[in-house]
Structure 1
Amino acid sequence: MKPVALLLALCCLFNTAHGATVAPAAYALPNTEVRDIRAQALQRDYQLFVALPDSYREGSKRYPVVFVVDADYSFAVVRNIAQRLAKHAGLEEVIVVGLSYARGDSGVYSRRRDYTPTTPRKHDYRSDMPGRQPAFGEAAGYAKFISSVVFPVIASQYRANMGRKIFVGHSYGSLLGLQIMLTEPRTFEHYILGSPSLWYDAGIMFEREQAYASTHKDLPASVFFGIGGLERLPAGKKRSRSEENADMLADLKEFNQKLTAHKFPGLSTRLRVFDDEDHASVFPMVLTHGLRAYLKSSR
């Protein structure tokens, strides 16, 4: 045995004999990578979490790419569900790219700023980061960061089919998806939008949708909307475009109805209500059915 290896072995025996505990190793997801990335225009740093399909090392195939926001929560969920659907339901394999929160920011602070389209005209939000004022309304800049910085990294470093990009968002993340869809809809070929916060800024997205329809004859987008059946306003409360009195289910049905009423030739929407789910539990269901609505199946 080499001297270094012998020394390590003796240290382990010593620690074990004297009751010392060795810190367990962290769990790591197979075939995943983390890349640091700079958003120069925003003057912030982020990370990309990348999950490669099981067959990635076997050939030269290019794969559809799923881009998911709120990655600190959603990346592992999306990666695991996508792989399970490929193995057991015959769906296409995909590359999953998780978009992290900004380095040094809390998740609440980062997503409020990066995923929202405006600063609310009326609000009493407080910052959860001492010494910093709450920030909102930078979705346009963040969307440009995705298309101009993130996309080239993924296209150059992986066998990604950049003609088949899927956006996945939930809640505020779906506001970001709507911001992209109503400004540069061809940024993604498919949108999976769960429980969008359509109450935000007194229903600003309803105004954006109306403004888009007044100046465009088409909306080239494939969209899967999903929401929990329990995301409704309790009985006895009056519905409004406010967080406290929002009926998210009614809002989404109304929004989808407005979209489809324009009869845009390039627009395809589906709306699925998951009866027994609420805002916290519905995301895996939305993701599963949203992927099925776009990815090809071998069965």
Structure 2
Amino acid sequence: MNNWFKILYIFTFLCFTFSKAQDKLMIGEKRTVFSKVLSEDREIWIHLPKTYNDTTINPAKYPVIYLLDGENNFEYFAGLTDFIARTPYADIPECIVVGIKNTERTRDLTPTKSQKKSPVNSAVTLFTDSGGSEHFVKFIQEELKPFISKNYRTQGYSVLVGHSFGGLFAINVLLTHPEYFNSYVANDPSLWWDNEIMISRTENYLEKNKKFPANKSLYVSQADNEEQQKNWNSDMTQSIEKFKGIVEKNGTLNYKHTFFEGETHGTVSYQGNYEALKFIFKGFRTNIKQFAKNPELLEEEYKKFSDRMGEKFIPSETYLNVILKFMKSNDFKESETYFINLKNRLYPKTK
């Protein structure tokens, strides 16, 4: 019996150890999409909101953020979205994040064929594979988006986020295919590209259309780049400032520009993306304490927010549960009854 007890003990201990070893913190999954447009496999990294697989609530649909340079930005960006979407302090709705890993970055993100001599070796020509952004955006719109919509629960609202060449790409898509995304983020965009061709395109767009499309947002961050002012990228700052002047003078785009003192081209995206998401979803945050006396205010604020965004948003079931807990614990019975009815209306129980 003693030996059998030892064997049982060892078996139980090993099972427990193995089980504990399998506990992992997962921030996403990798998928591969074959692109007929680009004639290649594209690796994408997908982060789902914390409530996506929560079986205690009804399955919900989520906005989607398409993140360029996924291999550089995905890990911090996934955590960032979770942090600022947490109830009851949410500044943004929970979002699905789709990071797109690069294959030929210059080819995919630049709008025109343009070359430049290396600043450190004039015998070397840079960017010889440039000018393929139209094919890349076609891949995103016609192949990647349908793949995401087919495999995940998505809402209609989408955001495109890019940095440097990715920021150049985002602004180009806004000008050439504004209907593809609802909002655009360009962190320290390379608007110097091809003799500032994007500045010309912006002027031409406004000359033709007079104003930017309704319900679109653009956030642009600008790095201090103090060290870069001494070298070949010094035209980065001037081109961003020119673009800022054109857009702000027109005044028809929901636009924000932020200059980050002390940040470099390589570090500005972190702060830029935080500010960008808060700007894009401005008005999403509500004050739970106000609903005790005026419960109807929640629906009124979501209606106002939806009208501004051009897409319908409703309070999440998770947030309604938090509100109900607050009303119950503080004995706001009338408001509690109101939110019970609202929850049943928005998220009816299924048999």
Interval of TM-score (by shorter of Structure 1 and Structure 2) = 0.7 to 0.9
Q: Distance in 2 between matches of 1:277 and 1:26?
A: 39
Q: Distance in 2 between matches of 1:66 and 1:158?
A: 13
> What is the TM-score of this pair, normalised by structure 1?
0.77
Alignment of 1:145-160 (within 5 A): 145-160=139-154
State the Cα deviation string for residues 75-134 of structure 1 (Å, max 9, x = none). Answer: 1121011111123742321110001113xxxxxxx11110001111554599xxxxxx94
- Label 1:251 to 1:207 Cα distance change in 2 as closer, same or farther (>3 A): same
Contact 2:163 2:189 in 1 (8 A): yes
Partner residue, 2:208? 215
Query: Which amino acid counterpart does residue 94 of structure 2 have in structure 1?
Result: E
State the Cα deviation string for residues 228-266 of structure 1 (Å, max 9, x = none). Answer: 2235863xx6xxxxx8152433321220211232343xx
Distance apart, 1:62 and its partner CA: 1.0
Q: Distance in 2 between matches of 1:230 and 1:282?
A: 9
Residue 140 (1) aligns with residue 130 (2): no
Distance apart, 1:63 and its partner CA: 1.0
- The count of corresponding residues between Structure 1 and Structure 2 is 255
2:263 to 253, 266, 277: 277
Partner residue, 2:69? 70
State the Cα deviation string for residues 158-200 of structure 1 (Å, max 9, x = none). Answer: 11112x1011110010111011011011211111110001111
CA RMSD of aligned residues (A): 2.7
Alignment of 1:1-299 (within 5 A): 30-58=26-54, 59-87=58-86, 89-91=89-91, 92-102=93-103, 110-120=104-114, 122-123=116-117, 134-162=128-156, 164-220=157-213, 221-230=216-225, 234=229, 244-264=232-252, 267-295=253-281, 296-299=284-287
- Label 1:202 to 1:231 Cα distance change in 2 as closer, same or farther (>3 A): farther
Contact 1:117 1:179 in 2 (8 A): yes
Contact 2:226 2:262 in 1 (8 A): no
- Label 1:153 to 1:120 Cα distance change in 2 as closer, same or farther (>3 A): same
Q: Give me the identity figure in percent.
A: 28
Greater share of residues in helix: 2
The ranges of structure 1 where at least 4 consecutive aligned residues each deviate by more than 3 angstroms after the TM superposition are 25-29, 121-126, 230-234
Give the number of the structure with larger relative contact order, counting CA–CA contacts within 8 Å between residues 6 or more apart: 1
Query: Which amino acid counterpart does residue 227 of structure 1 have in structure 2?
Result: Q
Distance apart, 1:207 and its partner CA: 1.6
Q: Secondary structure at the match of 2:242?
A: helix
- Structure 1 residue runs of 5 or longer lacking an equivalent are 1-5, 10-24, 103-109, 127-132, 238-242
- Structure 2 residue runs of 5 or longer lacking an equivalent are 1-6, 11-20, 121-126, 288-351
Partner residue, 1:18? none
- Label 1:246 to 1:230 Cα distance change in 2 as closer, same or farther (>3 A): closer
Query: Which amino acid counterpart does residue 225 of structure 2 have in structure 1?
Result: L
Distance apart, 1:67 and its partner CA: 0.6
- Label 1:30 to 1:228 Cα distance change in 2 as closer, same or farther (>3 A): same
Distance apart, 1:216 and its partner CA: 1.5
Q: Distance in 2 between matches of 1:31 and 1:134?
A: 36
Stretch moving more, 142-151 or 79-88: 79-88
